[in-house]
Structure 1
């Protein structure tokens, strides 16, 4: 199974978690790592090139820090530009049908903050529903997310362990 990890972090060089994850993912030859902010520093996305990448892979992963209850802006722009009507959805838009989709995300706040009655009032499952809806609309199979929470308090060793766990998770046949 060929896996494409689309990373969206506007300050990846300052990220302990997402940078660690990316470096570990790059060591695995069965995983293609695609850093949107590095490829498109001007924000001008090449839809044809991105669609070609999607077609070449069986599992699509969005990796991002959880920003304001969603993804960083360039990933949303990517969705708007790349997932075109007639290509990704609509009666003729079947190019992604049957592919698997995973979210790999991190939160600064602890898991307890992301539940009913918690600081943020909603679970991660509830907050990531738009991504699930996107997968459904485009014919992809939404797989359980890989989420690391409370990252502000994690040691370097815990972050390295999470990077290894992410690679293992993405290599599983689900």
Structure 2
């Protein structure tokens, strides 16, 4: 049984300072399967049956991604649209994801203080999380507090190391639960 499925969604991982490191860390955690969406589905043609089968044995689902224009990367959105369908993920008779954990692990380009009334983004960062929370709620999944790194391009190497270490520890605990 796979304990945790991590969906890694970054269109240009070679340019990613943070998400690439997190994906590499996830690959090293026992009980974790990393699915590189852009590497697996460069044509955006998602093998729905395979993805659903993969999730059937998982205890948790992790979205590992940058926040782009206040949401998820295009291929991750396509994955959600194609894989999390009524009758399987939610709705009458659907129980495939109920009780599984849902964890958002993401990075932003802006510092946290840019997410405030009167600041660049006008709202607290939490205001951009409802689509993720609703995915978890609609599918009967348990929301796990997100692991977010703001100002990803500008954090020190030490701060990045600490962020990756915290992610690895939490992912290890999730996979061991």
TM-score range, shorter chain: over 0.9
d(CA) in 1 for partners of 2:125 and 2:47? 30
Aligned to 1:5: 6
Aligned to 1:150: 151
Task: Give unmatched runs, 5+ long, in structure 2.
Answer: none
Q: CA deviation at 1:141?
A: 0.9
Aligned to 2:140: 139
Task: Give unmatched runs, 5+ long, in structure 1.
Answer: none
d(CA) in 2 for partners of 1:152 and 1:16? 7
Aligned to 1:16: 17
d(CA) in 2 for partners of 1:111 and 1:170? 23
Question: Do the aligned residues in 2 keep the contact of 1:20 with 1:160 (CA within 8 Å)?
Answer: no
d(CA) in 1 for partners of 2:103 and 2:66? 14
CA RMSD, Structure 1 to Structure 2 (Å): 1.5
| Higher deviation after alignment, 69-78 or 160-169 | 160-169
Q: CA deviation at 1:50?
A: 0.5
| Higher deviation after alignment, 29-38 or 156-165 | 156-165
TM value normalised by structure 2:
0.93
Cα deviation per residue 1:64-93 (whole Å; 9 max; x = unaligned)? 000000010000000000011110011111
Aligned to 1:60: 61
Aligned to 1:81: 82
d(CA) in 2 for partners of 1:39 and 1:160? 27
- The number of residue pairs the alignment matches comes to 174
4+ residue runs over 4 A deviation:
none
Three-state SS of the structure 2 residue aligned to 1:158 is helix
Mapping of residues 102-121 of structure 1, within 5 Å: 102-121=103-122
